[in-house]
Amino acid sequence: EAQVTQNPRYLITVTGKKLTVTCSQNMNHEYMSWYRQDPGLGLRQIYYSMNVEVTDKGDVPEGYKVSRKEKRNFPLILESPSPNQTSLYFCASRVGGLAGGLVETQYFGPGTRLLVL
Amino acid sequence: AQRVTQPEKLLSVFKGAPVELKCNYSYSGSPELFWYVQYSRQRLQLLLRHISRESIKGFTADLNKGETSFHLKKPFAQEEDSAMYYCALSGCSGAGSYQLTFGKGTKLSVIP
């Protein structure tokens, strides 16, 4: 079954304690991205990756890091989490991303709810 | 820069009434536009995209380039339509890649 998985689904942590949220897709998609969803602000893109070893900042990258060492995985790293990073996080993937190509559907993971105390 | 605006945070309608969720965009090129839906406690999922010209769950959306709009419509709302709806635009980010930009979302509440 084609899917995007995220772990953990729920996480409570304290300020300053490094954490990683994993994201994995089994569709051989080149393009992956991370979003955060906050009430009244909708979905905002944090980082995206066009392919292995190619990552770029989205709209709200501050306080986050990502890596793309393999095609299927795109972990989100919070080196020193702060309370303002309490949010619902979604990973997503889709085919392609090259100019001139047909844009395909973006598939979303189930979300990770993070609380930073 | 590309931008998507959904002017209504919350829209309440009675069951059986028509629904229109507004979406306006700003983009210099030829955009690809989508509507996504998120039901309570579920992941975001694609509802429809303008290039397919399809009707899903009774919803339709027409791209109006003159008005830069992509409003979502349904003639008769159902209770199960209650959800968050996001309009999204995919456009070239200038680095040879496409970036998906979301509006802030509209919460649709259908009153029985």
Instruction: Tell me which residue in B49, B95, B105 faces A42 most closely, judged by beta carbons.
Output: B105
| C-alpha distance from B104 to closest chain A C-alpha (Å) | 4
Q: Tell whether A89 is within 8 A of chain B (Cβ).
A: no
Gap between the terminal Cα atoms of chain A:
36
Binary contact (A103, B103; C-beta < 8 A): no
Q: Please write the tens of the pLDDT for every residue from B39-73.
A: 987 888 888 888 777 788 999 998 898 999 999 99
Beta strand extents in chain B (DSSP E only): 3-5, 10-14, 19-21, 24-26, 32-38, 45-49, 60-61, 72-74, 83-92, 98-102, 106-111
Tell me: pLDDT of B94 over 70: no
Out of B46, B92, B105, the one facing A99 most closely (by C-beta) is B92
Question: In Å, how far is B52's CA from the nearest CA of chain A?
Answer: 11
Nearest CA in chain A to B98: A97
Extract the tokens encoding B41. Answer: 């406690």
How far off is chain B from A90, nearest CA to CA, in Å? 8
Identity of the residue in A43, A96, A103 whose CB atom sits nearest the CB atom of B86:
A43
Of the pLDDT bands very low, low, confident and very high (cuts 50, 70, 90), residue A99 is: very low
State how far the alpha carbon of B64 is from the alpha carbons of B22, B24, B70, B75, B105, in Å: 12, 9, 6, 19, 20
Give me the percent of chain A exceeding a pLDDT of 90.
62
Instruction: For chain A, give the longest Cα–Cα distance.
Output: 45
Coil/strand/helix, residue B48? strand
Does A8 reach chain B within 8 Å, measured CB to CB? no
* Interchain CB distance below 8 Å, B97 and A103: no
Looking at per-residue confidence, does A12 or B31 come out higher?
A: A12
Query: pLDDT grade, residue B97 (50/70/90)?
Result: low
Q: Answer yes or no: is pLDDT of B21 > 90.
A: yes
Q: How confident is the model at residue B32 (pLDDT cuts 50, 70, 90)?
A: confident
| Nearest in space to A103 (alpha carbons), one of A90, A92, A112 | A92
Q: Which residues of chain A make contact with B100, given a CB cutoff of 8 A?
A: 33, 45, 106
pLDDT score of A39 = 82
Ranked by mean pLDDT, the top range of A28-32, A86-90, B25-29, B53-57 is A86-90
Cβ within 8 Å, pair B104-A42: yes
Q: Which three-class secondary structure state does DSSP give residue A85?
A: helix
Chain B partners of A35 at a C-beta cutoff of 8 Å? 102
pLDDT band at residue B29 using 50, 70 and 90 as cut-offs: confident
